Amino acid sequence: MKTRLQTAMKALVLAAVTAAIYLPGLQYAPIYLANDEPKFALQARAIAATGRDLDGEFMPLYFSEAGYPAGRDPLIIYLTAVFLKRLPFSEATIRLPTALVGVVDVVLMFVLARRMFEREALAFAAAALLALTPAHFIHSRLGVNVLYPLPFAMMWLLLLLAFLERESLRTLFAAAAVLGVGVYSYVAATIMMPLYFVFTWLTLVRKKSAAVQYVVAVTGFAIPLLLLFAWHVRHPARYTELVSAYRIYDASRMNPLQGAKDLASYFSLGVRSGVYWDFFNPSFLFFSGDSTLINSTRRSGVFLWPVGLLLPLGVYRIVRFRPTWTNGLLLAGFVSAPLAAVLVAEVAIRRALLMVPFAVLIATGGLEWLFSAQQRLLRIAGVLLLGLIALQFRSFYLDYFTEYRDRSGVWFGGNIRAALEDLIERDRERPASAVYVSNRIPFVEAYWSFYAVKHGREDLLLRTMYYDPSRFTAQVSAADGLMVAPAHEEPTESLVRASGWRLLKVVTEPNGPASFMLYEK
């Protein structure tokens, strides 16, 4: 009992330290909202306020919207709705649930590594490796759902290890049920959670389990999926909508069997095998990271570069000294992590974040190998690598809150927050009969709705017209009004002068370039 209490206290301290790293400045770092953040947030607010989504459906399983009829995954929306019941609608609030998921990940890693390595020091090292992984930190601070499969994968592995030790049917049921629930965390999880269930099944086969254990596993996995089955019965087009949304194959002219044949074609396999191997490019993993500045700072990899030494050492340790089934699951989890991304032929770490916990556990094994070596030089190397990890993370962390904000602004759509909040404030001082917003601003309806709700000005949405710049004269006809457009947008910039509009403000990025223009008539 005392040992459990001590472990719980250590986990709480670990959670507090991680929160101190992960939670500060959510309102301004990342610099602006990524385009999916307001979409998730608006659905969550609708659920918190009415129990219905933006289309009026009561407590849906998936959240359909214009441009994505297949529907957004539910877990992040319902979790965010819980927070919005008590907290104000803001950038920080909608990012907070994901940041806390990141904190939970670190605590789960501590518990999981403690069970695997049976050494508390290594458990703390594994937790630190995860907490200091750039890709994990970055995606913990975005109000999107790409991080949400990670706790389910770690809980599954933890419960599976517990089952292998005690053979409790309840534990096996829980391990399988966690995977079933995890399917609702992120679209990639619809591929990966069933794959982990296959790993569970193979584990049962290997240990020559009794028939009842197979039944328990299948039941645990299937029960959460009954909701998914019922949803697809009610919305039979969802499969085709998903295939079309992610361009897996041409669902408009192919049935699933033909689509599978197309995926297995020589050309398709060639393209997708290239995508798969790109995920294991050392530059991608340890130096430059994702190609977008939303998902990477481009000054560090998915992992910090010292992990690039620990990871192969961990693989060597498994192959040479510890070829156990459990370690085999770690390798299988790591090498299979990009499969969902390969299906959509996109090298994007947000679609393969499940590689992170498996890589961290393998790298921790490499650290164990160094610390248990007889040669003093290898033990010193282990300490030095941990020190280098801390130093590089410090550099990454400082860059994230300073120069990265300036570099990444254009990737987050520019300073749309300043433009729209300025427009809201001007209308508060002098109400306009109409508000004109250029439809050339990407995802502007979601952003405008978000900031109108944030400032309690939903009345503005009733006075808003999204105009097409090519039809400016015909659409922008009010006697007075406010207008926001991309900087130097044509033909808007030429036509406003001839239509009696005057320039109010040029909205700039922190590093200087103009991003939006506000006009008044």
Same domain (yes/no): 172, 286: yes
- Of 406, 433, 461, which residue sits at a domain end? 406
User: How open is the CA angle 173-176-177, to the nearest 5 degrees?
Assistant: 80
- Of 386, 406, 426, which residue sits at a domain end? 406
Q: What is the pLDDT of residue 488?
A: 80
Residue 245 is assigned to a structural domain of this protein: no
- Can you tell me the distance from the alpha carbon of 111 to that of 15, in angstroms, rounded to the nearest whole number? 12
Residue 251 is assigned to a structural domain of this protein: no
Q: What is the pLDDT of residue 59?
A: 97
* Residues near 307 by beta carbon (within 8 Å), at least 6 away in sequence: 129, 133, 286, 359, 363, 389
Mean pLDDT over residues 288-315, rounded? 97
Amino acid letter, 518: L
- Of 362, 379, 406, which residue sits at a domain end? 406
Mean pLDDT over residues 141-167, rounded? 97
Regarding predicted confidence, which is higher, 132 or 467? 132
User: How open is the CA angle 280-300-381, to the nearest 5 degrees?
Assistant: 80
Q: What is the pLDDT of residue 171?
A: 98
Same domain (yes/no): 34, 70: yes
Same domain (yes/no): 399, 419: no
**pLDDT band at 2, cuts 50/70/90?**
low
Same domain (yes/no): 387, 345: yes
Mean pLDDT over residues 279-305, rounded? 97
Closest CA to 504 of 491, 487, 517, 489: 517
Regarding predicted confidence, which is higher, 294 or 2? 294
Same domain (yes/no): 428, 384: no
| Under 8 Å between Cβ of 305 and 288 | no
Q: What is the pLDDT of residue 270?
A: 94
| Under 8 Å between Cβ of 60 and 73 | no
Q: Residue 518 in 3-state DSSP? A: strand
Q: What is the pLDDT of residue 46?
A: 98
Same domain (yes/no): 25, 105: yes
| Under 8 Å between Cβ of 193 and 149 | yes
Report in angstroms the alpha-carbon separations of 398 from 309, 349, 389, 392, 414: 24, 22, 14, 10, 22
Q: What is the pLDDT of residue 520?
A: 92
- Can you tell me the distance from the alpha carbon of 305 to that of 389, in angstroms, rounded to the nearest whole number? 8
Residue 262 is assigned to a structural domain of this protein: no
| Under 8 Å between Cβ of 355 and 341 | no
Q: What is the pLDDT of residue 90?
A: 98
3-state helix vs strand vs coil in the chain, percent to 5: 65, 5, 30
Domain that holds residue 82: 2-236+279-406
Residue 256 is assigned to a structural domain of this protein: no
* Residues near 170 by beta carbon (within 8 Å), at least 6 away in sequence: none
- Lowest-pLDDT range of 302-306, 409-413, 478-482: 478-482
**pLDDT band at 1, cuts 50/70/90?**
low
Q: In the chain, how many domains are there?
A: 2
Where is 515: in which H helix or E strand? strand 514-520
Closest CA to 12 of 118, 104, 114: 104
- Can you tell me the distance from the alpha carbon of 448 to that of 456, in angstroms, rounded to the nearest whole number? 12
Query: What are the pLDDT digits (tens) for 351-402?
Result: 999 999 999 999 999 999 999 999 999 999 999 999 999 999 999 999 999 9
- Lowest-pLDDT range of 25-39, 221-235, 249-263, 315-329: 249-263
Regarding predicted confidence, which is higher, 374 or 20? 20
Residue 373 is assigned to a structural domain of this protein: yes
Same domain (yes/no): 439, 348: no
Same domain (yes/no): 435, 365: no
Q: Residue 203 in 3-state DSSP? A: helix
Same domain (yes/no): 394, 418: no
| DSSP codes of every residue in 216-250 | HHHHHHHHHHHHHHHHHHH-TTHHHHHHHHTTSS-
Regarding predicted confidence, which is higher, 1 or 68? 68
| Average pLDDT over the chain, rounded to an integer | 94
Q: Is the pLDDT of residue 195 over 70?
A: yes
Query: What are the pLDDT digits (tens) for 431-463?
Result: 999 999 999 999 999 999 999 999 999 999 999
| Under 8 Å between Cβ of 106 and 14 | yes
Residue 55 is assigned to a structural domain of this protein: yes
Mean pLDDT over residues 79-91, rounded? 98
Query: What are the pLDDT digits (tens) for 493-519?
Result: 777 777 778 899 999 999 889 999 999
Same domain (yes/no): 295, 211: yes
Residue 270 is assigned to a structural domain of this protein: no
Same domain (yes/no): 133, 44: yes
Regarding predicted confidence, which is higher, 260 or 196? 196
Residue 339 is assigned to a structural domain of this protein: yes
Same domain (yes/no): 18, 100: yes
Residues in the chain: 521
- Can you tell me the distance from the alpha carbon of 325 to that of 118, in angstroms, rounded to the nearest whole number? 17
Q: What is the pLDDT of residue 93?
A: 98
Determine phi and psi for 178, rounding to 5 degrees.
-60, -40
